[in-house]
Each structure stands twice: as C-alpha cells, then as structure tokens.
Amino acid sequence: MAIKVFILGRPGSGKSTAARFIAMLAQNKDRSSIRINDYEILYNMFRADTTHKKFLSAEHNGFKVIDFSVLDAALKEVEKKARIYIPSMKKDDLIIIEFARNDYRKSLKQFKRDFLRDAYFLFIETDIDTCVRRVYERTAHRTTLDDHFVSDDIIRCHYHNNNKSYIVSNLKTDYGIDGKKVVIIDNTGSWQDFVENINLFVEAIFKQETPILCETDPLQNSSSLVSTSSQSSLNVVARSGDRDGRHSISASQTYLD
C-alpha cells in the first residue's frame, strides 16, 4: 500500500514547499507521488456557491469561508480522493496530504481511524506574523500554483491556536500512531536547515518502510544530505524561496518517541 504523509501547519508555514520537496525526493528514489491539497476542493465549493451562503469572494481571486462546516466536508473529500488513488499505487509510492486547520484534534476526526493509523505526520510550526508576511510575499510574487492568498484577519483569527501540543501528545493516544512517524519542524532557521530536515524526514520514512533496501543504501550523513542528482532541482526551489520569503522556513526537527 502507498505511504500516506500528512503535512500540517498554518497557511504560510511552508506546507506546500515541503510537499513539493518531498515529491522531488521521492522521484529521485524512483518513487511516484500524488499530492492532495484541500484548497482545490474548497475553491471548487466556493465556485459552486453562487448564493454566497458558505463563501464570500476575497481579494487576489481568493475566498473567505463563512460556513465553517465546509472545512470538514473538504477533508472527507480528501480521504475519498486518496482512497481512489491508493489501490493503483505501488507499495513505496507517496500520497502527500496537506491542509491547514485551527484545531487538528477536530479536523483529524473527519478521517477514518484506519486511514490515519499507518500514516506519517509532518507538523511545521510557524508563528502567525511570519505566516502573514509569507502569504503576502507569495501573493505578490507568485511562482507556483500553490501561492494562494489567505487574508490577514483569517490567519490571525481563525488560525490562532498552536496545535503543536496536540500533535506531540495526542496522535498516539487518539489513533495509535507510532511516535517515530510524527515529526515537528520549527521553521525559524535557514533554507538549508529546511532542506536537511525534510530530507531526513523522507529518508526516515523509507528506512522504516523498506528496511532491507536501506541496508544496501544507508542513510546519508548530515553533511551530504542532498544527492547530486537532486542538487540542481534544489537550487531552483531555493531561488523560488528567495523570491517569496520561503527560504527561511525551518530550523530544528523533533522526532517523537
């Protein structure tokens, strides 16, 4: 069965940058990946809401949610889409799921327990001011389809909770998730810190999922985390990050036992 990877954090925390980088690393290992982001699902709901009962239009071709029940409905659709893809994917392929919520205890309840139990979780911790700044920078200098606008008031009012304590303490209790499959990244460091931490996260996934392969292809040490084959792609990503402020996404990484 495909490997499920959840990427969680506030808007502007670096989830999409992490997802693209993880997909690139998987490709370098001859694994395929599929990304599912709930933004597209919510945007389609917004376009269909012609009476404006659940959404309002926002600047920069965005939208505001006024009926927050749509957020739960979108996550149910995320799982539905993932379950359609998974049977046709190979054992070591990745299905990457990313979404931002103010209360992950509530939002993760929208998924079936068996869907979550064997998944990996990457939580990117970022302060609100940094998230707001990055969203405005990425909107002003759009370089990818992920550069969506989220208003200042939505980030400050709806995403004010710090979910780190829940991710650290309750995923294992609530869903039986192995602590080795949960990683916290504090995004106050350099771009290189981000690259190294994400690379370590991906290497750890494949080490746990394919231990026999890893005996002949050992984990690289921290001084040479990025393979030569991926270096040119990394440079492209880094330059994009330099434009929109996402070059300072990470710092320390915590694996939970």
Q: Give the integer Cα–Cα distance in Å for 43 and 39.
A: 6
Q: Which pLDDT belongs to residue 194? A: 83
Which residues, other chains included, contact 184 with Cβ-Cβ below 8 Å and sequence gap of 6+? Answer: 123, 125, 164, 167, 168, 253, 254, 256
Q: Which pLDDT belongs to residue 31? A: 94
Range of the structural domain that residue 91 is part of: 3-255
Q: How many angstroms from the chain centroid is the CA of residue 179?
A: 18
pLDDT in tens, the chain (257 residues): 899 999 999 999 999 999 999 999 999 999 999 999 999 999 999 999 999 999 999 999 889 999 999 999 999 999 999 999 999 999 899 999 999 999 999 999 999 999 999 999 999 999 999 999 999 999 999 999 899 999 888 899 889 998 999 999 999 899 999 999 999 998 877 888 988 999 999 999 999 987 654 444 444 433 333 333 344 344 434 333 433 333 333 334 443 44
Q: Give the integer Cα–Cα distance in Å for 252 and 187.
A: 7
CATH number for the domain spanning 156: value is: 3.40.50.300
Q: Which pLDDT belongs to residue 213? A: 46
Structure-token pair, residue 252: 């320390």
The sign of the dihedral angle between the CA atoms of 8, 12, 16, 22 is: negative
Element (H, E) at 225: none
Give the predicted TM-score (pTM) of the model. Answer: 0.82
The number of distinct structural domains making up the chain is 1
Q: Give the integer Cα–Cα distance in Å for 196 and 116.
A: 26
Q: Which pLDDT belongs to residue 224? A: 36
Q: Which pLDDT belongs to residue 140? A: 92
